Chains A and B, each alone.
Chain A
Amino acid sequence: MSAPVYIVGLGVISGIGNNVAEHLASFEQAKAGMGDITTLNTIHKGQLPVAEVKLSNEQLVATTGLPERSSRTALLSYVAAREALDDAGIPNLNSLRVGFVSANTVGGMDKSEDFYVQFHADDNKGKLRNIFDHECGSMTEIVADQLGIGDFITTVSTACSSSANSIFYGARLIRNDMLDVVVAGGVDSLTKLTLNGFNTLMILDKEFCKPFDENRAGLNLGEGAGYVVMVSDKVRSMLAKQPYCVISGYNNSNDAYHQTASSPDGTGSYMAMKGALDKAGLQPSDIDYINLHGTGTLNNDSAEGTAIKRLFDPEYPPVSSTKSFTGHTLGASGGVEAVFSVLAIKNQIIYPNLRFETQMSELSFKPETRFMKNQHIKHVMSNSFGFGGNCTSLIFSAV
């Protein structure tokens, strides 16, 4: 049951790049992805910055070959999942048991929103092709069909921790010997529902977000997709390439405090990190870098910071929130940041936390602000916390 699960492929798309290479370049150049809204037809245009993927739906359709009517969620998902699977380069994939475990929170809501305007006025109106793929599961199905994966497909939705949980579930499908290869991660595209939803909660920063800063004022929404390809030991031995790392620890705990707010002491976050360390058989001092959940809201960063303090004090590893680049990609963030965590090990790098100025008064640590090369990175922790108290931490370890 404790057989190793190797990461052998990566794919990512977000506001700072359309593939892994572009992301690494943006990190090194400290190039954030936020800007004015261009894709959504919303009254918040020009008011609230977001980190959009810099490709229109038309461009994504042209790149992917998916139908014109496709949801942006499915389009983004396919770009990143395809990159991951190509990167893995697994020969004779058809002879193996392959699964696709994806996550999202919005499904085809971008298209449903178009449908709903007409439907709401007259329920016999609204183009059915815009609502047909409304469900979260439809996004996964569309992409699995494109990838030719059919042995097992499913979708996780636990708000902002969704794709950390899909990676976690995918790894367990391999450990339980149900599958040999799993492409896992998640996606979300920007929608009016989420933009307005987060706006009603008054947690959107009107400026570019400042995670883990004393004067932070909220998050910026982003969009994107991130996937890892995980394989069993048997499949790894068939590959010409070396695996990037193993997934050594994971834990899912519930804060059980409030539907949306985190507990002040970060109970759920603490339990998730502690549980992942225990699962990996590691001590806090073994962790070389934490990719923070770090949304930039007062509540999250305070709760997460407090939990880190409780677990790591007085020796803190370097920490940073890459949401200062990508914005908060919601259901995709766990997948996107898992890719960054693996790349940190592969390239021995640490990402900067942009726009950080003032250390949070309640914390005795601050995020790394420089792009650091030639680091000794063996174990990376990736945090993903969400609505509903869903807290998940993953640990990736060099082989």
Chain B
Amino acid sequence: MKVFIRSAACISAQKTFKNDGFLDDITEYVGTRLTIIEPDYKEYFDPKAVRRMSPVVKRGVAAALECLKQADVKMPGAIVTGTAFGCMTDTVTFMNRLVDDNEEMLPPTAFIQSTHNTVAAQVALSLQCHAYNNTFVHKGISFESALLDGVMLLKEQETKNVLVGGTEEMVDVSFKVLTRLGLFKRWPISNLELFKTESKGTIGGEGCAFFLLNDEPSADNLAELTAIKVLYQPQNIAESISSFLADNGLNPADVDLVITGKNGDIKNDAIYQPLISDLFIHNAIANYKHLCGEYPVSSSFALWLAANILKRCEVPEVVYERDSPVDIQKTVLIYNHYQGKYHSLMLVSAI
């Protein structure tokens, strides 16, 4: 059985949402943190409701609804999301009141909306969808865990389609804490120059991307999700990638384009370099984190990118690290790792 990506909707630091263009009008940021290009939410919610929604909830639900609309699906057969940090805005709001007011006279709203499953729950609520609903919260493989759940649901023939999303918001508190923990660069940098200077640290980001997976071949599908694999602290990543490709009947040379998770941090990126100059010496190479920043579910941005590359038979110039000798892309491999521990491989193919 094949798993297809029927539609994809992505809210990010770039004009990726409801935009006919494909990364052809890039937004530059100077600093160490990329923000979100907020869509017009009127199309999805009552304006009064929007004011009560935290950023990750409104972005997540809007991306989910837009994804369904593009797929022309009214009711998904399952809703699965991934997020490492969950609903930070509401968590911080509640924590502030907790400390400031010494646990007295606290309002419940922020607590109610602070649970990690809020986005998946609000998507279900807005659709009145009683189907399977799950949320994964495992660091840099939160989105991959959700995607794997979606693939299994289709293989188990539980349902004909699954809505899968990765959602993350970066609030000031997280940005400050992660900066103190040394994740980000110490000096402002243009995101478009991210791979040009060799230094420690990356740039922070956030985003929400949803996908409708189904098992029906159709000319309207964006791409096939051929395989996904998650690795924890792999001993030899080149071997792991080779065997992943071999499991899918492929040699490294069969991959048209490799999308890496380079994030501009010399330590983080060290693992990609030998692959680019050895295992994938003959392949085209692309990067994406200069466009959306680093965040635990950024691989959902990469999947959106891969699905669109395959559908449009077009690779945006801005993502290339090493150009492709061939025009039409058939097979894309996404290889990302998060802070060295969690590695994921997603193989995406043209339909």
Contacts and interface: CB of A to CB of B under 8 A. Distances in A.
Interface of A: 1, 42-44, 105, 107, 113, 116-117, 119-120, 123-124, 128, 131-132, 135-138, 140-141, 144, 150-159, 165, 169, 172-173, 175-176, 192-193, 196-197, 199-201, 252-260, 267-268, 271, 386-390
A190 B19 CA distance: 46
Interface in B74-90: 79, 84-86
Given A117-B99, A201-B112, A390 B133 contact: yes
B115 A116 contact: no
Interface stretch (B63-71, B134-142, B313-321): B134-142
A314 B33 CA distance: 61
B335 interface: no
B-side interface size class: 35 or more
Contacts of A389: 121, 124-125, 133
B238 interface: no
Given A176-B152, A254-B129, A388 B103 contact: no
Interface stretch (B35-43, B174-182, B273-281, B300-308): B174-182
Contacts of B94: 193, 196-197
Given A135-B84, A153-B232, A267-B130, A387 B115 contact: yes
B54 interface: no
6 contacts: A137-B142, A150-B232, A152-B230, A152-B232, A192-B98, A197-B108
Where chain B touches its partner, the secondary structure class is mixed
B111 A259 contact: no
B44 interface: no
Ordered nearest first, which 4 A-B pairs have the shortest CB separation?
A: A388-B121, A197-B111, A200-B108, A137-B138
A97 B145 CA distance: 17
Interface string B227-239: 0001011000000
Contacts of B131: 253-254
A105 B115 contact: yes
A169 B158 CA distance: 13
Contacts of A105: 115-116
Given A201-B111, A260-B112, A388-B121, A135 B103 contact: no
Nearest to A136: B137
Interface string B157-185: 10000000000000001001100110000
Contacts of B100: 120
Contacts of B106: 196, 199-200
A267 B124 CA distance: 13
